[in-house]
């Protein structure tokens, strides 16, 4: 190939990679030098005579082919002074890809002739030169020794991968001065990680903080349980230090650990449990390439379902909600997260038969996650007909349409308040569970299932944001009863288990999630007050306002624990159910009609709905 062609090719590469032209040029000439080393080690340092044409051809061909390969592998978009092991591995992959093309040309064509030993030498030399250049760039940004006077002195709890990544990021930013690590792993005693010492275990924290004049303690244990986090907080609560924490693994979805991810400790950190193990292969096969409809998509559960569904690459997502503002905010958050999968926002009421029929006809969804419901207990006590219309009739409406339009799977989100309900909300959700079972009998081709769980932290109307507002205002924090308990779960964990149940159901099941131990609301209030740096009943008062209408002191997940089966997943249980032979739809429609006509109102309407929910529980609720 004429030398002029190579010159044009080099100019093209330099033009395309203009922002990294110096890197490309350095690589190109390093690769030429690698070919020289290959020839020199095999022949002579003075390459002349008959070998000079072969050297020139080889040098230009090798440098051009490998540079193009690195360009195709996007190695020239990498900022090498901040590169990690992954970037160097990518460099090696594309280098050897280019090298393989070059060897094919040399050994299977008559274009270039190179001694075989020279081929091996030049390949090794080329990789050495390219990686050495990048290593020098990487080392060039290591911080120089400087005075740490006046800098924030930080101690990192957790010397694992997250802790070491955080330490390196702190060093790069230079605003704080990391002193070392605390870690309970005995094997790390006196070890050095990220060039920082491991100074001791949890019990050594007070002494380490005092001896090293620590200003801030960073908890870098994304996989730790809530109990483990609480043990450290109990020790740190007695020390005059600022505490920051990395979110859980579920929240660190991108796997990136940096200073920007640190935040104040929240109550949700104390509810962390062992990381959820999922059958990701089956979940992806359930969703990938499918049209997925999520009702209640603007709510806390529905929006998280949307995010986790999109991570499994559906063909498109139908995000249906009744409130336009919540759907708008969802669409904004998905766009900000860089989502590229089509998401169609739909403003509609699940109980609107005509509108929902048109949606199913137009889009023919394959999978439905039904999270749309009215969930606020006191508000539904004041609006019982609306609760029954949306929660019970709305569920029947879209479940029936799912059967008519051959939806593969229909997963309904239920609640622990459906067990022995004392509220309108709970009774209407229990009625919805029973209606779902009756629809299963009518449309056996669609697999219907309900997933029952308790409260989730971070949902709209959750007690935690309310307590935090009251603390910010100086108190008092209002708790309904000193003995009130509730099950709590983190939203990402609950939704990941919902997706898992979607792969497990064969039709007609009621799944129940393992909610852990119930939490005393009064203790939750005390913990939140302490997390905000105050002393309960001293700086911030706790007042008891009395149980509200429809509320219970404690919730249950089953009518009868003996009627519960385990499943292949340790955190998912299956209730043993007897299919309904008759639908309760006529009773639901009668109550709705009578309420609309004003023939049944007030307490009588609530009593009728409660009776419907309780009857459903007695006849069929396990």
Average pLDDT over residues 393-405: 96
Could you tell me the two tokens for 294?
Answer: 């999520």
**CB burial of residue 505 (10 Å; 0-12, 13-18, 19+):** buried
Average pLDDT over residues 28-55: 76
Proportion of the chain above pLDDT 70, given as a percent? 82
**DSSP for 460-501?**
TT-HHHHHHHHHHTT-PEEES-TT-EE-EEEHHHHHHHHHHH
Q: Do 69 and 101 form a contact (C-beta atoms < 8 A)?
A: yes
The predicted-structure confidence for 163-203, as pLDDT tens digits, reads as follows 888 887 787 766 678 888 888 888 777 788 877 888 888 88
CA separation for the pair 33, 102 (Å, rounded): 16
| Residues 6+ positions from 73 with CB-CB distance below 8 Å | 90, 91, 93, 94, 97
Residue 81 pLDDT exceeds 70: no
Q: Work out the widest C-alpha separation in the chain, in whole angstroms.
A: 109
Q: Do 378 and 549 form a contact (C-beta atoms < 8 A)?
A: yes
What single-letter DSSP state applies at residue 519?
E
Residue 399 pLDDT exceeds 90: yes
Q: Do 550 and 425 form a contact (C-beta atoms < 8 A)?
A: yes
The predicted-structure confidence for 220-273, as pLDDT tens digits, reads as follows 887 777 778 888 888 887 888 888 887 765 555 444 555 666 766 766 666 666
Spacing of C-alpha 181 from chain mean position: 27
Of 248, 305, 346, residue with least CA distance to 451:
305
Does 476 sit behind a cis peptide bond, omega within 30 degrees of 0 on the bond before it?
yes
Residue 12 pLDDT exceeds 80: no
Residue 617 pLDDT exceeds 50: no
The predicted-structure confidence for 135-161, as pLDDT tens digits, reads as follows 877 665 544 445 455 678 888 888 888
Could you tell me the two tokens for 57?
Answer: 């051809």
Confidence of residue 555 (pLDDT cuts 50, 70, 90): low
CA separation for the pair 242, 239 (Å, rounded): 9
pTM attached to this predicted model: 0.66
The predicted-structure confidence for 451-510, as pLDDT tens digits, reads as follows 988 777 766 666 777 888 888 888 888 988 888 887 777 888 889 889 999 998 888 888
Which pLDDT score is estimated for 557?
61
Which pLDDT score is estimated for 554?
65
Average pLDDT over residues 383-397: 95
Q: Which of 83-87, 336-340, 397-401, 538-542 is the least confident region?
A: 83-87
Highest mean pLDDT among 373-387, 447-461, 553-567: 373-387
Which pLDDT score is estimated for 425?
92
Residue 326 pLDDT exceeds 90: yes
Q: Do 331 and 306 form a contact (C-beta atoms < 8 A)?
A: no
Confidence of residue 119 (pLDDT cuts 50, 70, 90): confident
Residue 331 pLDDT exceeds 90: yes
Q: What value does the mean pLDDT of the chain take?
A: 81
Of 353, 364, 433, residue with least CA distance to 402:
364
Average pLDDT over residues 397-425: 92
Q: Do 479 and 542 form a contact (C-beta atoms < 8 A)?
A: yes
Phi, psi of 499 (to 5 degrees): -60, -40
Radius of gyration of the chain from its Cα atoms, rounded to whole angstroms? 32
Helix pair angle (585-596, 424-442), 10° resolution: 130
Which pLDDT score is estimated for 620?
46
| Residues 6+ positions from 404 with CB-CB distance below 8 Å | 360, 443
Confidence of residue 345 (pLDDT cuts 50, 70, 90): very high
**DSSP for 61-102?**
HHHHHHHHHHHHTTGGGS-GGG--HHHHHHHHHHHHHHHHHH
Beta partners for 520? 485
Confidence of residue 619 (pLDDT cuts 50, 70, 90): very low
Q: How many CB atoms lie within 10 A of CB 234?
A: 11
Q: Do 190 and 214 form a contact (C-beta atoms < 8 A)?
A: no
Helix pair angle (521-531, 463-472), 10° resolution: 40
Q: Number of helices (H) and strands (E), helices first, in the chain?
A: 21, 21
Average pLDDT over residues 339-363: 95
Could you tell me the two tokens for 422?
Answer: 């004392």
Confidence of residue 589 (pLDDT cuts 50, 70, 90): very high
Residue 1 pLDDT exceeds 50: no
Residue 621 pLDDT exceeds 50: no
Of 592, 593, 582, residue with least CA distance to 615:
582
Which pLDDT score is estimated for 616?
47
CA separation for the pair 545, 350 (Å, rounded): 35
Phi, psi of 216 (to 5 degrees): -135, 135
């Amino acid at each position: 190939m004429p030398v002029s062609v190579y010159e044009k090719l080099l100019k093209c590469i330099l033009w395309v990679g203009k922002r990294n032209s110096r890197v490309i040029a350095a690589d190109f000439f390093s690769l030429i030098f690698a070919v020289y080393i290959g020839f020199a080690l095999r022949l002579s340092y003075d390459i002349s005579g008959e070998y000079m044409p072969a050297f020139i051809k080889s040098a230009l061909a090798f440098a051009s082919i490998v540079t193009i390969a690195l360009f195709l592998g996007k190695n020239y978009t990498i900022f090498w002074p901040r590169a990690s092991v992954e970037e160097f591995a990518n460099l090696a992959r594309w280098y050897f890809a280019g090298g393989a093309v070059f060897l094919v040309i040399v050994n299977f064509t008559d274009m270039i002739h190179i001694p075989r030993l020279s081929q091996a030498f030049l390949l090794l030399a080329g990789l050495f030169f390219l990686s050495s250049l990048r290593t020098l760039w990487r080392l060039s940004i290591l911080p120089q020794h400087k005075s740490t006077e006046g800098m924030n002195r930080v101690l990192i709890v957790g010397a694992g991968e997250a802790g070491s990544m955080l330490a390196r990021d702190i060093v790069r930013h230079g605003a704080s001065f990391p002193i070392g690590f605390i870690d309970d792993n005995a094997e790390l005693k006196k070890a050095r990680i990220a060039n920082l010492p491991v100074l001791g275990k949890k019990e050594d924290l007070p002494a380490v903080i005092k001896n090293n004049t620590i200003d801030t303690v960073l908890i870098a244990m994304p996989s730790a349980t809530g109990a483990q986090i609480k043990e450290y907080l109990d020790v740190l609560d007695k020390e005059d230090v600022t505490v920051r924490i990395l979110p859980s693994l579920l929240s660190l979805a991108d796997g990136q650990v940096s200073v920007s991810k640190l935040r104040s400790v929240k109550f949700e950190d104390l509810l962390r449990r062992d990381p959820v193990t999922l059958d990701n292969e089956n979940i992806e096969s359930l969703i990938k390439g499918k049209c997925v409809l999520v009702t209640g998509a603007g709510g806390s559960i529905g929006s998280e379902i949307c995010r986790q569904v999109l991570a499994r690459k559906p063909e498109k997502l139908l995000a249906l909600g009744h409130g336009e503002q919540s759907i708008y905010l969802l669409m904004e958050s998905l766009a900000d997260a860089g989502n590229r999968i089509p998401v169609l926002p739909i403003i509609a009421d699940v109980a609107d038969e005509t509108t929902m029929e048109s949606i199913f006809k137009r889009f023919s969804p394959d999978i439905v996650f039904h999270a749309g419901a009215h969930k606020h207990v006191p508000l539904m006590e004041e609006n019982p007909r609306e609760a029954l219309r949306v929660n019970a009739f709305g569920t029947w409406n879209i479940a029936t349409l799912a059967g008519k339009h051959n939806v593969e799977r229909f997963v309904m989100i239920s609640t622990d308040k459906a067990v022995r309900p004392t509220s309108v909300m709970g009774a209407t959700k229990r009625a919805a569970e029973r209606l779902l079972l009756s629809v299963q009998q009518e449309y056996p081709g669609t697999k219907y299932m309900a997933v029952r769980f308790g409260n989730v932290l971070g949902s709209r109307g959750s007690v935690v944001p309310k307590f935090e507002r009251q603390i910010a205002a100086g108190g008092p924090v209002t708790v309904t009863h000193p003995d009130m308990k509730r099950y709590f779960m983190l939203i990402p964990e609950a939704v990941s288990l919902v997706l898992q149940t979607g792969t497990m159901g064969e039709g007609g099941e009621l799944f129940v999630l393992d909610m852990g131990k119930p939490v005393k609301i009064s203790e939750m209030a005390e913990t939140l007050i302490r997390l905000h740096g105050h002393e309960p009943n001293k700086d911030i008062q706790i007042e008891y306002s009395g149980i509200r209408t429809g509320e219970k002191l404690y919730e249950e997940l089953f009518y009868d624990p003996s009627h519960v089966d385990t499943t292949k997943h340790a955190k998912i249980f299956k209730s043993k159910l007897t299919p309904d032979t008759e639908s309760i739809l006529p009773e639901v429609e009668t109550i709705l009609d009578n309420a609309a006509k004003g023939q049944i109102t007030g307490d009588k309407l609530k009593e009728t709905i409660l009776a419907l929910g309780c009857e459903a529980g007695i006849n069929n609720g396990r």
